[in-house]
Amino acid sequence: MAIHNREAFLDKLAGRLGRPRRTEVAPPSYSVRPQERVFQGATQDELVEKLEAQCEVIHTSFERVTLSELEDTLRRVLNGYGVSKIVSAGGPRIETSGLVDFYDQLRKEDYEVQIWDEEKGRQNVEFAEQAGAGIVFSDITLAESGTVTLFNDRYNGRSISLLPETFIAIIPKSTMVPRMTQAGRLIHEEEEKGNPVSSCVSFVTGPSNSADIEMNLIVGVHGPVKATYIVVDDL
């Protein structure tokens, strides 16, 4: 941990700008704020509808359920993908949503399920690399772009949403916001309060894709090939 060569470097910039170094800058007030207008005043249900429409664009399957239907839906989605090896994010939310018991049940039925566990260290990553599906909870969900925001941490390793071939995001309806504006503001406000942002914030919008070969869209070049969002109404 260190900072090298800073002072001379920054002195030079200030010199070029024709003034002494600045040690304070008043936050600017910008003349327009078009970002506020997107889906302004929309209800949570309307935002879910926008999300559903956007899922078409981003090649992502969409499900909408109540908490009591979540297990059956997850099972159907997993079977649809032909997946029997699963890595899932852990933490309080898999408990409140009843997934801990559901995973136990799956294990009895010859599924291999691993909940991300810091005690197991690097083995988590190796498991994720072999897993057919990674299951995470969205922290903030952006209706406009169809994006789930993941604050990666000890419960939600970066690899879960990245290495398995399919990506399943459980989206509590309460996490819906119009667009990235609200996510950016929330993080900004937390920073101002002195709550530092997570070491990795991933905004994920559907499966991995590329248009590098003759501009053909190809999914899954590095990350997941397929993605499903499951919106849970009463979470």
Partner 1 sequence: MSIKIGSKAYAERIQDGIDNSFMRKAVSSAQGRFRTGRLKAAEELGDWEDWRTLGEEIRSHTMENLDYYLHQLSEEVEKRGGTVFFAETAEEANAYVQEIAKKKQAKKVVKSKSMVTEEIGLNEALAESGCEVVESDLGEWILQLDEDPPSHIVTPALHKNKEQIRETFVKKKGYTKSDDPVELAAFAREQLRQDFLSADIGVTGCNFAVAESGAVTLVTNEGNARMVTSLPDTQISVMGMERIVPTWEDLEVVVSLLTRAAVGQKLTSYITALTGTRLEDEVDGPEDFHLVIVDNGRSKILGTEFQSALHCIRCAACINACPVYRHVGGHSYGSIYPGPIGAVLTPLLDGYEDHKELPYASSLCAACTEACPVKIPLHEHLIMHREIIVERERMNAKSEEIMMKGFAKWASTPAAYKMSTKMARTALKPWTKDEHIENGPGPLKGWTDQRDFPAPPKKSFREWYKHREERRNG
Within positions 127 to 146, which residues make up the interface with partner 1, using CB under 8 A? Answer: 129, 142, 144-146
Task: Give the other-Cβ count within 10 Å of 60's Cβ.
Answer: 22
Q: By CB under 8 A, tell whether 194 contacts partner 1.
A: no
In angstroms, what is the minimal distance from the CB of 90 to partner 1?
11
Q: Which of residues 85-114 bind partner 1 (CB under 8 A)?
A: none
Cross-strand partners of 61? 228
Nearer to partner 1 among residue 104 and residue 118 (C-beta): 118
Of 5, 40, 41, 109, the residue at the interface with partner 1 (CB under 8 A) is: 5
Q: By CB under 8 A, tell whether 27 contacts partner 1.
A: yes
Cross-strand partners of 115? 88
Name, in order, each residue with C-beta under 8 angstroms of 77's C-beta and a sequence gap of 6 or more.
Answer: 61, 63, 168, 228, 230
Kindly indicate which of the ranges 80-88, 98-106, 133-141, 156-164 contains the residues binding partner 1, using the contact rule CB under 8 A: 156-164
Q: Can you give 114-144 as a three-state secondary structure string?
A: EECCHHHCCHHHHHHHHCCEEEEECCEEECC
Kindly indicate which of the ranges 10-18, 77-85, 93-101, 131-139 contains the residues binding partner 1, using the contact rule CB under 8 A: 10-18
Its sign, for the CA torsion 138, 142, 146, 152, is negative
